[in-house]
Amino acid sequence: MSHRFGVFAALVVLTTLAKSIVTAETAGWRVVDAYYRFDVPYPKEFTEFLKDMSPREWALDLRLWEKPLAGSAHVYLKNTGTNPLSIEDVEFAGISLKRAIAFSDQDVRREADPASVFFSDLSEAERNKLIAAGDPIWWRARPSRVLPDETCEVTVRFRANPTSGTVKLTINTKDNAPLEVTIPMKPRPRFEYISFSRDLKGITAFCSTVLSKPPQRIFLNGQDITKVCVIRFDPELDVCPVVAKLEVPLKRGSYCCLQAVYPDGSKATELIKVWSDEPAYGIWGGMPGDPNDKETAKRYFADLAAHNINTQMEQIGSACVIEFLKTQEGREYIASLGIRRTVNEYLKQGTTNPYLYFLADEPESADFYVTGVPPQHKMGCLTQGMVNKAQSLHEKDPLTPSAVNINYTFRPHSTYAYGQVPDILMCDPYYQARLSHAYDRSPRRVPLYANASCIYALTCLPRLACMPRPLHMVLYAVSAQSGQGLVKFRFPTPEEKRTEVYYALAGGAKQISFWWYTPTPPGKKGANGCGADQPAAKALWTEIGLLGAEFGTISELIAESCPLDLMVAAATVVGGCKELEPSLWARALLSGIDTLILLCINENLVCDRLGTVYTPIEQADLRVSIPQWLKPKDVFEVTYKGIADVDWSSKKTLDIRLNDTKLTRLIVVTSNPDLRSKLKARYNEKYAAKVAKLLDLG
Rounded to whole angstroms, the Cα distance separating 449 from 49 reads 9
Q: How far is CA 482 from the centre of its chain?
A: 27
* 14-47 tens-digit pLDDT: 333 332 334 445 468 899 999 999 999 988 888 8
Task: Note the pLDDT of residue 58.
Answer: 57
Q: How high is the pLDDT of residue 307?
A: 98
Percentage of residues of the chain with pLDDT beyond 90: 77
Distance, in Å, from the CA atom of 475 to the CA atom of 213, rounded to the nearest integer, reads 38
Number of other CB atoms surrounding residue 647 within 10 Å: 11
Q: How many residues does the chain have?
A: 698
Mean pLDDT lowest for which of 429-438, 469-478, 577-586?
577-586
DSSP calls for 176-190: S--EEEEEE------
Quick check: bond before 263 cis, omega within 30?
Answer: no
- The pair phi, psi for residue 349, each rounded to 5°, is -55, 135
Q: How far apart are CA 540 and CA 519, in angstroms?
A: 13
- Distance set, CA 695 to CA 305, 545, 683 (Å): 15, 10, 16
Beta strand pairing status for 595-602 and 584-591? Answer: antiparallel
Examine the pLDDT at 462 and tell me if it is beyond 90: yes
Strand boundaries in 120-211, DSSP class E = 136-142, 145-146, 151-158, 166-173, 179-184, 191-196, 202-208
Reported as a single tens digit per residue, the pLDDT across 275-324 is 999 999 999 999 999 999 999 999 999 999 999 999 999 878 889 999 99
Please, what's the b/e burial string for 615-632 (b: 16 or more CB within 10 A of its CB; e: otherwise)? eebeebbbebbbbeebeb
Tell me which residue of 473, 471, 493, 490 sits closest to 481, measured CA to CA.
Answer: 490
222 has pLDDT over 50: yes
Instruction: List phi, psi (to 5°) of 471.
Output: -115, 135
Q: In the β-sheet with 29-38, what is the strand arrangement from edge to edge? A: 29-38, 71-79, 151-158, 136-142
- In the chain, CATH 2.60.40.10 sits at 191-273
Segments of the chain assigned to CATH 2.60.40.1180: 562-697
Decide: 519 and 288 in contact? Cβ < 8 Å. Answer: yes
**CA distances in angstroms from 64 to 40, 58, 377, 463, listed in the order given:** 16, 11, 11, 19
DSSP annotation of 141: E
* pLDDT given for residue 219 in this prediction: 97
Torsion (CA) 524, 525, 530, 536 in degrees, nearest 10: 90
Q: Over 60: is that where the pLDDT of 442 sits?
A: yes
The highest-confidence range among 77-91, 108-122, 539-553, by mean pLDDT, is 539-553
* pLDDT value, residue 582: 87
Give the long-range contacts of residues 208-211, CB within 8 A, separation 24 or more. Answer: 208/7, 208/8, 208/238, 208/239, 208/268, 209/233, 209/237, 209/238, 209/239, 209/240, 210/262, 210/263, 210/264, 210/266, 211/263, 211/264
Q: How far apart (Å, rounded) are the C-alpha atoms in residues 225 and 258?
A: 10
- Strand duo 568-574 + 617-624: pairing: antiparallel
- What span, in angstroms and rounded, lies between the C-alpha atoms of 404 and 156? 19
282-556: CATH topology: TIM Barrel (3.20.20)
Q: What is the pLDDT of residues 603-625, one digit of tens each?
A: 999 999 999 999 999 999 999 99
Query: What's the whole-number average pLDDT of the chain?
Result: 90
Strand (E) or helix (H) holding 54? none
Domain at 562-697, CATH homologous superfamily: Golgi alpha-mannosidase II (2.60.40.1180)
Contact 116, 377 (CB under 8 A): yes
| Residue intervals in the chain for CATH 3.20.20.80 | 282-556
Instruction: Calculate mean pLDDT across residues 363-388.
Output: 94
> What residue type is assigned to position 556 of the chain?
E
Distance, C-alpha 492 to centroid of its chain: 23
CATH entry, 191-273, from 3.40.50.300, 3.40.1440.60, 2.60.40.10, 3.90.1010.10:
2.60.40.10
Helix pair angle (535-559, 494-507), 10° resolution:
20
Give per-residue pLDDT as tens, 630-651: 999 999 999 999 999 999 999 8
Phi, psi dihedral angles at 373 (to 5 degrees): -130, 130
Write the pLDDT tens digit of every residue in 312-368. 998 788 899 999 998 999 999 999 999 999 998 887 655 567 899 999 999 998 998
**What is the model's pLDDT at position 22?**
40
- Tell which residue, 345, 344, 381, 315, has the closest CA to residue 113: 381
For every residue of 613-674, DSSP letters joined together read EE--EEEEEEEE---TT---SEEEEEETTEEEE-EEEESSSEEEEEEEE-SEEEEEEES-TT
Q: Cα-flanking dihedrals φ and ψ of residue 591, to 5°?
A: -110, 115
Cα(115)–Cα(137) distance, integer angstroms: 8
Angstrom distances, CA of residue 124 to CA of 79, 128, 374, 381, 564: 37, 6, 14, 19, 48
Q: Is 203 helix (H, G, I), strand (E, B) or coil?
A: strand
Strand partners, 210: 213
Which of the four pLDDT bands, split at 50, 70 and 90, describes residue 50?
A: confident
Q: How far apart are CA 316 and CA 480, in angstroms?
A: 18
Residue that wins the pLDDT comparison between 20 and 414: 414
Q: How confident is the model at residue 107 (pLDDT cuts 50, 70, 90)?
A: confident
173 near 106, Cβ under 8 Å? no
Structurally, at CATH architecture level, domain 29-54+69-184 sits in Sandwich (2.60)
Q: For the chain, what percentages of helix, strand and coil (3-state, to nearest 5) are there?
A: 25, 30, 40
Render pLDDT for 179-193 as a digit per residue (tens, 0 to 9). Answer: 999 999 999 999 999
Beta bridge mates, 171: 90, 179
pLDDT digits (tens, 9 = 90+) for 647-670: 999 988 999 999 999 999 999 999
Torsion sign over Cα 526, 528, 532, 533? positive
Instruction: Examine the pLDDT at 511 and tell me if it is beyond 90.
Output: yes
